[in-house]
Amino acid sequence: MRTIKIFDTTLRDGEQSPGCSMSTQEKVMVAKKLDELNVDVMEAGFAASSKSDFESIREISKVVNNASVASLARLNKRDIDMAWDAIKGAKKPRIHVFIGTSDTHVYDKLGKTKEEVLEMVKEFVSYAKEKCYDIEFSLEDATRTDKVYACKVIDEAIKAGATTINIPDTVGYTSPDEFRAFISYLKENSNLNKVNISVHCHNDLGLATANSMSAILAGVTQVECTINGIGERAGNTALEEVVANLDTKKEYYNAKTNINTKMIYETSLLVSSITGSYVQHNKPIVGANAFKHEAGIHQAGVLKNKKTYEIMDPKRYGIYVDNMVIGVHSGKHVIIDKMKKLGFDPDNYDVESITFDIKEFFKTSKTIEDSDIISIINNNKIKKNTKRLD
């Protein structure tokens, strides 16, 4: 079974999300937690982008014990020099260089020719390699890049010393089948199989995780992602989703990760609290409702056997919550279960009457507390089989 490396870019791409900026102290807190989570690589920032980013990367490099620490850099000497100065104190430093390779990026953004970009790849990947053994090279906007040209760029980067080639879906444009076919083509027509193969998917069309999983089936060895899926525009592939997919369907993907899954929820909460970017309630894995049931039919099934409606054990991801939600759709099975948890013997009460009153409660409230349920039970001290007085 293959082990997929998890490259976490919460501290770089994630922090670029509007409203998610972090101080150096906060970044160090997150970095320590990511190290406990056991990510393989953490991208600590973009050293050349600001003095604060440079300082944060340098401080993170001092405290991370297990993961590789990477800094992003454009293909120029200043960026590479600053990246190296920021990460050289890390136990496992990595320089992550990139350049746009699609026609839009080459001609419109960079104002260069494809031949000039190839020369830049040769020159500056080699320059980065002189400083650091571990070099990752990214073809920005890879999924909108001509595939023949992409192969040329990849081969030049590998010749120059790249140890990981990243194929990003920078603008979230591709689809799972397209992406799998694209990666397969690159593997067959370049030297890509000689190095680690990474993907970095954005979620503009809601397909970031699906595309990343398809890439794993195509044979990639690293997935780039963020905690809670935060990132530019609609965000990045969510780390917790990739890990849970591989954890739940190991046999299908024939792959696993090194992630300490029981740290996932704790890490999610830390990132949310620091950035102020809270996940929606129905967010897979870490959303407040991800493992909760309100519908009576579902509740009855789960009370008999959790596998009826749960494909994962929430405790495996560090989530310890009561998964049964008392709501307007709840049936008497969950009311009986709740009464027992609160210390009441359901046999001494008219459960149907209590269920009716609980549903009536929701006409004036969207949520119900244990104290409200206790009050309703105490107001219904009617023996079972006794006719209710209206």
The predicted structure's pLDDT at residue 269: 94
Any bridge partners for residue 97, and if so which?
73, 137
Any bridge partners for residue 169, and if so which?
201
Largest CA distance in the chain: 88
Per-residue b or e along 181-197, where b marks 16 or more CB atoms closer than 10 Å to that residue's CB: ebbebbbeebebeebbb
Contact 137, 125 (CB under 8 A): yes
End-to-end CA distance of the chain: 65
Q: Which residues have CB under 8 Å from 83's CB, separation 6+?
A: 47, 48, 57, 71, 72, 73, 95, 96, 128
d(CA 15, CA 24): 12
Q: Is the pTM of this model over 0.85?
A: yes
Which residue segments constitute the domains of the chain, with CATH numbers given?
Answer: 2-275 (3.20.20.70), 296-378 (no CATH)
Each residue of 316-370: pLDDT tens digit? 999 887 676 778 888 888 888 888 888 888 988 889 889 898 888 888 888 888 8
Q: Quick one: tokens of 261?
A: 């899954």
Q: Which residues of the chain fall below pLDDT 50?
A: 384-390
Each residue of 274-304: pLDDT tens digit? 998 889 989 999 988 887 666 676 767 766 8
The predicted structure's pLDDT at residue 302: 66
- Chain center to CA of 55: 25
Q: Quick one: tokens of 134?
A: 């571990």
